[in-house]
């Protein structure tokens, strides 16, 4: 019912500003297209919005391979080993293109990704423009439970929102729901302090901060080895030395034994019997089902945390909620009541006992 009401309310936008910004960004997209083709490295007939077309262009340059991932030997394949490396080396779409930076075409990769990001943002902006009603409000189910990449794209269009908005964020929600699931009592480490320690930097830069955050999330989700390398790479678009990531993971595993133990025990449930007879019968781990279970479970808990926060907001500021995403809420109010943060924290602590969520409440930036 609350999500239905959010959709009915809609979110206020400036239609004129949305159109003007869209035209400006379309012009920028044409410039990015020119930048990609200017070097003539991938040809002038490549459709930069199509992954099959871009993949073929990089294959012709012999650049569509993850050179930092050791190739799996035939002996390893016969022994059933090296599957993690095989999966880490696969290119399934634009989100995997960062792996090709070490294959001799780093500038081309950067240019193509810059174009793709701008194109995806422009497509999202167009979808907003199509949904603008006569009262200059956008009504879409995306604003009642949106998550992932689309929320990131929405952030690129903040400038077109109207009215006084307040943002409620749950910045470490993923870590907290996993800690609750695993009954981990050790508090989450401060990301900045961890970055200072890992990179021996007094003031870690933005990229170092992102790497640490990605490693923390990857550890919480049970990623290890090459799956952790792949996860961190997707989150940061950088290829980190696996030895370094393994050392980071080792430190976290020692500091958070219950999360480590939970994932270790969970794996045992995803071994299945294979083989047609007693001679070749054995038990084999099913990584796809294991990963689907973990990701599905955690995403469900994150949705619950978002919904509980939204209900607390509605009870405190009736009819103010105009967007509910998985990790943040948007309220159409000039100033939130002082009791709002406490109410959200209280409701979350009742839903997830012995877990202290971090809740940020501040005016939304455009």
List, run by run, the mean pLDDT of 10-residue segments along the chain (366 residues).
93 94 97 88 86 92 86 70 84 93 84 96 95 93 92 94 92 95 92 93 92 96 95 94 94 96 93 69 80 96 96 92 94 88 94 91 74
Does residue 46 lie within any of the structural domains?
yes
Domain count, the chain: 1
Q: Three-state DSSP class for 21?
A: helix
Does residue 89 lie within any of the structural domains?
yes
pLDDT in tens, 141-187: 999 999 999 999 999 999 999 988 999 999 999 999 999 999 999 99
Q: Is the dihedral of CA 123, 125, 129, 131 positive or negative?
A: positive
And the tokens for 244?
């370094």
How many Å from the N-terminal Cα to the C-terminal Cα in the chain?
Answer: 29
Does residue 112 lie within any of the structural domains?
yes
pLDDT of residue 216: 97
Length of the chain: 366
The residue assigned the tokens 């009791």 is 339
Does residue 15 lie within any of the structural domains?
yes
Does residue 11 lie within any of the structural domains?
yes
pLDDT of residue 348: 95
And the tokens for 210?
């992102």
And the tokens for 217?
């999330």
Neighbours of 13 (CB within 10 A): 22
Does residue 29 lie within any of the structural domains?
yes
Does residue 270 lie within any of the structural domains?
no
Distances (CA, A) of 204 to 3, 53, 140, 208: 39, 38, 39, 6
pLDDT of residue 13: 94
How far is residue 302's CA from residue 346's CA, in Å, rounded to a whole number?
17
pLDDT of residue 254: 95
pLDDT of residue 259: 96
The residue assigned the tokens 């929405």 is 154
pLDDT of residue 279: 64
Does residue 178 lie within any of the structural domains?
no
Contacts of 275 (CB under 8 A, 6+ apart): 281, 282
Q: Three-state DSSP class for 272?
A: strand
DSSP 132: B
And the tokens for 200?
């021996």
**Domain extent for 138:** 1-162
């Amino acid at each position: 019912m609350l999500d239905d009401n959010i959709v009915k309310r809609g979110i206020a936008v400036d239609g004129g500003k949305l159109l003007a910004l869209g035209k400006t960004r379309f012009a920028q997209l044409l410039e990015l297209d020119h930048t990609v083709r200017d070097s003539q490295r991938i040809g002038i007939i490549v459709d930069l919005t199509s992954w099959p077309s871009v993949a073929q262009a990089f294959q012709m340059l012999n650049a569509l391979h993850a050179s930092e991932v050791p190739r799996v030997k035939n002996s390893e394949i016969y022994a059933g080993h090296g599957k993690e490396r095989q999966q880490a080396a696969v290119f399934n779409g634009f989100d995997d293109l960062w792996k090709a930076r070490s294959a001799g075409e780093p500038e081309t990769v950067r240019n193509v990704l810059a174009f793709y990001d701008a194109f995806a943002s422009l497509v999202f902006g167009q979808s907003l423009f199509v949904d603008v009603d006569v009262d200059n409000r956008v009504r879409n189910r995306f604003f009642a439970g949106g998550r992932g990449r689309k929320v990131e794209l929405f952030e690129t269009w903040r400038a077109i929102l109207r009215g006084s908005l307040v943002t409620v964020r749950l910045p470490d929600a993923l870590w907290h729901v996993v800690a609750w699931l695993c009954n981990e009592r050790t508090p989450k480490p401060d990301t900045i302090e961890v970055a200072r320690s890992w990179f021996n930097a007094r003031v870690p830069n933005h990229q170092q901060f992102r790497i640490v955050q990605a490693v923390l999330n990857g550890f919480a989700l049970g990623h290890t080895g090459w799956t952790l390398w792949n996860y961190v790479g997707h989150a940061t678009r950088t290829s980190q030395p696996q030895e370094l990531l393994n050392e980071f993971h080792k430190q976290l595993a020692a500091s958070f034994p219950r999360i480590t133990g939970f994932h270790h025990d969970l794996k045992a449930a995803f071994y299945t019997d294979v083989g047609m007879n007693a001679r070749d019968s054995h038990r084999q781990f099913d990584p796809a089902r294991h990963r689907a279970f973990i990701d599905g479970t955690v995403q469900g808990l994150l949705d619950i945390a978002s919904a509980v926060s939204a209900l607390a907001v509605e009870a405190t500021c009736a009819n103010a909620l105009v967007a509910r995403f998985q990790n943040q809420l948007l309220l159409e109010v000039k100033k939130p009541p002082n009791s709002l943060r406490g109410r959200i924290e209280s409701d979350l602590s009742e839903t997830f006992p012995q877990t202290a969520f971090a809740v940020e409440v501040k005016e939304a930036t455009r």
